[in-house]
Amino acid sequence: PSESDPWRPAAHLTASQNWINDPNGLVYENGTYHAFYQHNPHGNFWGDMSWGHSTSTDLVHWTQQPVAMEGSASEEIFSGAIVPDTKNASGLGTAENPPLVALYTSSYGEGGALPKGSQAQSVAYSLDHGTSWTKYKGNPVLSLQPASNNFRDPKITWYEPGKYWVMTTVVADAQVVKLFKSTDLLHWSFLSDFSGVGAQGGLWEVPELLQMDVDGGNGLKKWVMIVSINPGGIAGGSGMQYFVGDFDGTRFTAENAAKPGDRLRESQWLDHGADFYAANTITAAPGGKPVLLGWMGNWDYAQSVPSTPWRGSMAIPRQLTLVAAGSRFELHSTIAQAAADALMNAKTSEVHGKDLTVTDSTEALGSDFGSRSQLIDAEMDVAGSAEAGMVLRASADGKAGLRISYNRASQTLKVDRSAAGTSNFSPKFSPYHQASVPMKDGKVRLRILLDSSSVEVFAQDGSVVISDIFFPQWGNTGAAAFSSGGTASFKLSSTRQ
């Protein structure tokens, strides 16, 4: 970041210039993490959709590569996935040099293979580790009859018992996930539909089916279906819900899922902030746990956020754990190990600690907590019915700042960006977001990743996450701890980038 580009993240993926949205084709291959993403190579707004490309070895520092696949007037390149076809089942490479195979959505315009406005799934492949891409001659490889205008977002998982790949896609405006199978990534046959549960109040987009070990479950495995919804998310506009259940090779069945109108159960959400969407996992990521990368944006206002010459950034990659909790399973998210290691790297970062107790007041934390990009670990012991927390990116007079607070009486965590910076670019830029966060051993532990224009708050070891973007003034680098209505003790440490 610099005074002329004050919101440029230090620890998150952005394009050097122009628009980005969903991450696509996430894959770890040949020692490199690849992130492709929805990108407009020609402007700082959604349009001319193409796959941009960046690579990383630590999930924090990214190197932008040339645009991988450029959209055209007849075919825009929407979201999709990449599969390392290690046995060359597609025949698009050779046994010695197997291909990376991309399944992406063709969104057709005038002169496209299908009628203007329709969407279908297509294939492209790379024989040089993702640098250059060739479209398959037989595209599209999968379309609906009659052609649909909302059939998109393929993501692929390998189903070992059946020895085939399973593709999840959506018919977005019907709130249906469609599953297909293939043994060569080119010919797909229909398996089943998944629908009728969870939040329904918007488009279903970017689905993913993955199998996970239950944490401490003695080998017990479950299947998880992740579905983005827009609008209708928990924090307004775009959000991400998930369902836990089983997959028998044909059908995914959610267990204990909320049905529309269900008053006893709530939908389960990957994030309780406004800016986490279209996340999907990195295929073949090392480390044994799924690593999820999301777009830090919300269609409610993403197109008018004030950053320039770039717009849109990715969230910090997270690793997912599936935890048994009462009658349900929950996904917990922590910063992916490789990213956490890079953020905590002793060679490049300074660590500062501070313990303090605050009663009905606000205490400045000084410059150790006052940088634009830092990782903060906060353990808070909030007494009685106090509400306590931190203000970050505060102005000198204390009037402006991002406020993260915990209310002990209601056991809720709140991130309030209403006084954190520029917000007049959209009436839909929601002021604050909150979530229920029970205390553990009488304490609340937060890991806060602050960057130039975003905050990600991982509460209680990642059982709840709140991700929000905000646009602070360059000079606002104050920080404070506060408590009102009683006393709170803080154990804080910060690692600056």
- Which residues within the stretch 307-346 sit at the binding site for ligand FRU (CB under 6 A)? none
Q: Quick one: 227 or 391, whose CB is closer to ligand FRU? A: 227
Give the whole-angstrom CA distance, residue 322 versus residue 214: 5
Sole binder of ligand FRU in the list 36, 62, 78, 165 (CB under 6 A): 78
Shortest separation between residue 46's beta carbon and ligand FRU, angstroms: 7
Sole binder of ligand FRU in the list 14, 44, 55, 79 (CB under 6 A): 79
Residue 237 phi, psi dihedral angles, 5° rounding: 70, -130
Sole binder of ligand FRU in the list 153, 275, 368, 387 (CB under 6 A): 153
Q: Which of 5, 22, 128, 355 is catalytic?
A: 22
Sole binder of ligand FRU in the list 7, 18, 22, 340 (CB under 6 A): 22
Give 478's contacts (C-beta < 8 A, 6+ positions apart).
364, 370, 391, 393, 394, 395, 396, 398, 401
Give the whole-angstrom CA distance, residue 248 versus residue 227: 19
Q: Quick one: 172 or 386, whose CB is closer to ligand FRU? A: 172
Q: Is 456 in the site for ligand FRU (CB under 6 A)?
A: no
Helix (H) or strand (E) holding 399: none
CA dihedral 130, 184, 223, 231 (to 10 degrees): 60
Residue 311 phi, psi dihedral angles, 5° rounding: -150, 120
Q: Is 22 a catalytic residue?
A: yes
Q: Is 38 in the site for ligand FRU (CB under 6 A)?
A: yes
Sole binder of ligand FRU in the list 12, 53, 152, 318 (CB under 6 A): 152
Whole-Å CA distances, 51 to 93, 109, 147, 299, 411: 21, 17, 23, 19, 42
- Which residues within the stretch 196-225 sit at the binding site for ligand FRU (CB under 6 A)? 205-206
Q: Quick one: 303 or 487, whose CB is closer to ligand FRU? A: 303
How many residues sit close enough to ligand FRU to count as binding (CB under 6 A)? 12
DSSP helix/strand/coil, 297: coil
Nearest CA to 279 out of 198, 207, 373 is that of 207
Sole binder of ligand FRU in the list 18, 21, 371, 467 (CB under 6 A): 21
Q: Is the peptide bond before 260 cis (omega within 30 degrees of 0)?
A: no
Q: Is 434 in the site for ligand FRU (CB under 6 A)?
A: no
**Residues designated as active site:** 22
Interface with ligand FRU (CB under 6 A): 21-22, 38, 49, 78-79, 105, 152-153, 205-206, 278
